[in-house]
Structure 1
Amino acid sequence: MTTYMIGTDLGTTSTKSVLYDQFGRVVASANVGYPLYHDQPDMAEEDPAEIWAAVVKTIQTVSQSVDTQQIAGISFSAAMHSVILLDENRQPLTRVITWADNRAAAVAAKLKREPLGQQLYEATGTPIHPMSPLVKLHWLKRAQPETFAAARYVVGIKDYIIERLSGQLQTDYSMANATGLFNLHTKTWEPRALAFAGVTEQQLPPLVDTNAVIDGLTPAVAAHLGLPAGVKLIMGASDGALSNLGVGADQPGIAAITIGTSGAVRVMTDRPYLDPNGRLFCYYVTANHWIVGGPINNGGQVFRWVRDQLYPTESAAAKAAKRDPYDDLTALAAQVPAGAHGLLFHPYLSGERAPLWNADARGSMLGITPTTTRADMARAVLEGISMNLNTVLTLTKNAEPVHAVRATGGFARSAFWCQLLADVLGQPLTIPVSFESSCLAAAVLGFQALGIVTNLDVIHQMIGTTHTYQPQAHNQARYQQLQATFDHITATLTPLYAELAALTRSEK
């Protein structure tokens, strides 16, 4: 008899659920979006009720495709670094404060200058940055003291959703590791971090492993979803950890790159690795599996900005002709050679996490001349995003030498961008045909947790068709030249970012 698993990924702007059989074949999928709220400068919040509605809708949609009695479980992936304060009845006192929220930037900058900052990084593996719940909570206690004082529980989005489904509150090591509150060496909450954040261990969910199983939905939720009450819930892990598994980048020497709204570079290791300068994260996946890498703020959202702000007329025309505007933009970029005629773009529109860890970072385009064209600009933007990722990849090689890269995310639909990225990285770039790597890995983790598959290695048989882009020698040589200049300019501009950010704030 066929057994099914739902992999549900709680993303920054949408929730995806994919129904798989035990052989990793996709039976059905659903995706429901929701807004990111920017009510004030540096805010980036979500409504937990909207995310809950998206979870319900996607699970209901995919489960209709099969006999629900054959659905063994639901396993979860989620974006990292979120915070929700709950009252004593486990009702939200706040919206979901996401990784993209920068309101704690001053707190992060101050902590980074103090010895405690490096000590907490060495204990937790989470870089000091406003993305981290460690820093968000410290800021929240001072910015919203009444709300903070009323909080009985402090959770992330995955903890909240699983509690609504099951009535049980707990968190897994992988998600906990990204909070900055979790000691990666002892797998317990870190007392120095809790003291800085202003929370107690009793306010945080109990810690469990990523393959922990919750036995069943609440009767009311089961009826609402149209599922048997006995459907198991598997805790799962963070989207970054699962994305590595989902693209087969769980072996030594293979890096994973994701470019969606934001982006990330990750390698899998069999031991924790901490960057001496605190520039890389180190997060738990499963026993003897850790991911080391760096997240970037500025991935596909930068190309969306280009589409909307620099090419609105062309984008409108493409939409009217029922073409994808991004296809037109990449076709424009393809008209000029590697290096965009000396134009260099630094993509720090939303501050930056890796490699800078600087919330004040700002975007720039250098090398503009009277002969610079709009095609040059389009190509320079794609090259800038790619070179920034290459800077992060170079750092991860200190943890694990890399000989190949697997990539996923919305960018992978563009053959031009894939080839450009392979040329910039100077590494073979393999793209799975299925883009939902986190959902697949969550499902396989669920199957393993329930004993339906013996180990996670079976995912290599499930990934399916892939396409590999080999770096082109001429372009690769050109990008090696440009990369050195790109990094030199970054270092030169970094001391000026605080001044630029101060000018922006003074206008508000």
Structure 2
Amino acid sequence: MTTMTSRPLLIGVDAGTSRVKAIAVDERGDVRGDAERATPWRHDGGRTELDPVALADLARVVAAEAVGVGGGTAIGVGVTGMAETGVLVDGRDRPLAPAIAWHDPRGDLDTIARELGAETFRATTGLPVTPMPSLGKLLWLRRTHPDSKAAARFYSVGEWIVRRLGGAPVAELSLASRTGLLDLAGRRPWDAATALLDWPPLLADLVVAGTPVGRVSGDGAPPSLRGAVLTVAGHDHQVAAYGVGATTDGALFDSLGTAEALVRTVRPPLAPAEVGRLVGHGMSVGWGVVAEHMCVMAGVPTGLTLGRVATLLGAATPAARDALGEQALSAPDHPILRLVEPRNGQFGLAGISDGVTPAVLWRTAVEGLVAEAARLLALVDAHAGPYRDVVVAGGWLRNPALLAAKRRQYPAMRTTALPEPGAYGAAMLAAEAAGAPLPTASGR
């Protein structure tokens, strides 16, 4: 008589801005199952927030569904997700306020600038003084939520989900680097930020992504997940880079989504003055998901801008945008037409004259966005040396004009067919924590 054994699976959960998704990966690195749900945001008068318990429960559900589709039992679970958004809790890990979206405009920036100084903040934390870093939102919560006086700890989203699944209270370095609470050079909580909040130090024990931090447990744990080793996989952009094999020394990951994320892995040290200069150029600096590595990140609104240009041109479907890209391949260069200052909120067009066809305009927009990405990468190279390997991914890479422009920018670039590199990277880090390493995407 033979006994059927359940297939061991590694689970990657990605709690993203639009979706909470999970994949189940077998020991060969093949995806066996997946599941997803919309991220449960509440929107009210320009504010965007969610119930931390509802988010953690949803992550548990999609992880269990992915295991069920995969037909096995989880031996490891890694959780990645959006950074900056997090959960303020009391000494019993009870949420004291909703989790505010990273892109929500709330934040007490005046206090940071006045008490800490913008230059000091940039050089110490690797972040700009904007509403995005968690510190500004924590200062706002301290002023507006009376219950916040009981604050004992702040979890980033991935850390919170792991904690609710049964893991230990930890702060993963790449996520802690997005809070404004971490002194990058000292790799420790920043005393000045702690003093400004007038709460106990909010960061738990600092760990590197892939560190085992417990096992799935508790009354609500699905049987297919129970006992699996848990790890906080880290910041989603970096975990996606890890998933496609682009976190080695000198590697670059170019992710072409709504925002183009340029994720550059570098060896430390980067002196505080260098960090401050990079942040002053619109970048961010932090610790990486790979031990003893740092990460410099920059963003270009590539997909957002091209989507708006497509709307102007009446190209409302992916097929219409692809057709524009195909036509742009043979469109002539226009001598004066140019894209002006692409930002997340807006962009300009200058030099519109006779001869500007939809194809010419599409070519100009693509080349302007690629030039902006190249400009930012040159600034990083000046501080950290040139990148030596590049992987490019993302939905906008399907556009013929953008693909051709990126091939000109990166003659030796690699691409990946992974549909969910963030969740896949989280599964790889779960495998590392469970002692069952998966092959890298580049090695399969």
CA change 1:421–1:64 in 2 (3 A) is same
Please show how residues 31-46 of structure 1 align to structure 2 within 5 Å.
Answer: 31-34=36-39, 39-41=44-46, 43-46=47-50
CA change 1:314–1:301 in 2 (3 A) is closer
Q: Is the 8 A contact 2:263 2:297 kept in 1?
A: yes
Between the aligned residues of both structures, percent identity stands at 24
- The Cα shift of 1:96 comes to 2.6
Q: Is the 8 A contact 1:405 1:427 kept in 2?
A: no
Query: Does residue 287 of structure 1 match 2:272?
Result: no
**Pairing partner for 1:405 from 373, 390, 397:** 390
Please show how residues 302-341 of structure 1 align to structure 2 within 5 Å.
Answer: 302-307=305-310, 309-311=311-313, 314-315=315-316, 318=317, 324-331=319-326, 333-334=328-329, 336-338=331-333
Query: Does residue 107 of structure 1 match 2:91?
Result: no
Query: Does residue 190 of structure 1 match 2:174?
Result: no
- Kindly provide the CA deviation profile for residues 190-242 of structure 1, in whole angstroms up to 9, marking residues without a partner as x: 111222345431x443333322223322332223xx42521121121111222
Where 1:256 maps in the other structure, the secondary structure is: strand
Quote the Cα distance in structure 2 between the aligned partners of 1:232 and 1:329: 48
Q: What TM-score do the two structures reach when normalised by structure 1?
A: 0.75
- The Cα shift of 1:21 comes to 1.6
CA change 1:199–1:330 in 2 (3 A) is farther
- The Cα shift of 1:91 comes to 4.2
Q: Is the 8 A contact 1:87 1:153 kept in 2?
A: yes
Quote the Cα distance in structure 2 between the aligned partners of 1:218 and 1:268: 34
Quote the Cα distance in structure 1 between the aligned partners of 2:166 and 2:371: 44
Q: Is the 8 A contact 1:265 1:294 kept in 2?
A: yes
- Corresponding residue for residue 61 of structure 1: 65
Quote the Cα distance in structure 2 between the aligned partners of 1:114 and 1:367: 45
Quote the Cα distance in structure 1 between the aligned partners of 2:262 and 2:179: 19
Name the aligned partner's letter for residue 84 of structure 2: H
Please show how residues 167-316 of structure 1 align to structure 2 within 5 Å.
Answer: 168-201=168-201, 203-223=202-222, 226-273=223-270, 274-279=274-279, 280-284=283-287, 285-296=289-300, 298-307=301-310, 309-311=311-313, 314-315=315-316
Where 1:18 maps in the other structure, the secondary structure is: strand
CA change 1:254–1:212 in 2 (3 A) is closer
CA change 1:269–1:365 in 2 (3 A) is same
- Corresponding residue for residue 405 of structure 2: 420
Q: Is the 8 A contact 1:292 1:399 kept in 2?
A: no
Please show how residues 464-479 of structure 1 align to structure 2 within 5 Å.
Answer: 464=444
CA change 1:52–1:377 in 2 (3 A) is farther
Quote the Cα distance in structure 2 between the aligned partners of 1:293 and 1:138: 25
More helix by share: 1
Q: Is the 8 A contact 1:244 1:268 kept in 2?
A: no
- Corresponding residue for residue 11 of structure 1: 16
Q: Which has the higher contact order (CA 8 A, sep 6+)?
A: 2
Query: Does residue 348 of structure 1 match 2:343?
Result: yes
**Pairing partner for 1:451 from 402, 410, 435:** 435
- Corresponding residue for residue 138 of structure 1: 139
Q: What TM-score do the two structures reach when normalised by structure 2?
A: 0.85
Q: Which runs of 5+ in 2 are unaligned?
A: none
Q: Is the 8 A contact 2:11 2:25 kept in 1?
A: yes
- Corresponding residue for residue 442 of structure 1: 426
Name the aligned partner's letter for residue 184 of structure 1: L
Q: Is the 8 A contact 1:107 1:139 kept in 2?
A: no
Could you list the runs of 4 or more consecutive aligned residues of structure 1 that deviate by over 6 angstroms after TM superposition? none
Aligned residues between the structures: 431
Where 1:127 maps in the other structure, the secondary structure is: coil
Where 2:369 maps in the other structure, the secondary structure is: helix
Please show how residues 491-502 of structure 1 align to structure 2 within 5 Å.
Answer: none
Q: For the aligned residues, what is the CA RMSD?
A: 3.1
Quote the Cα distance in structure 1 between the aligned partners of 2:254 and 2:294: 16
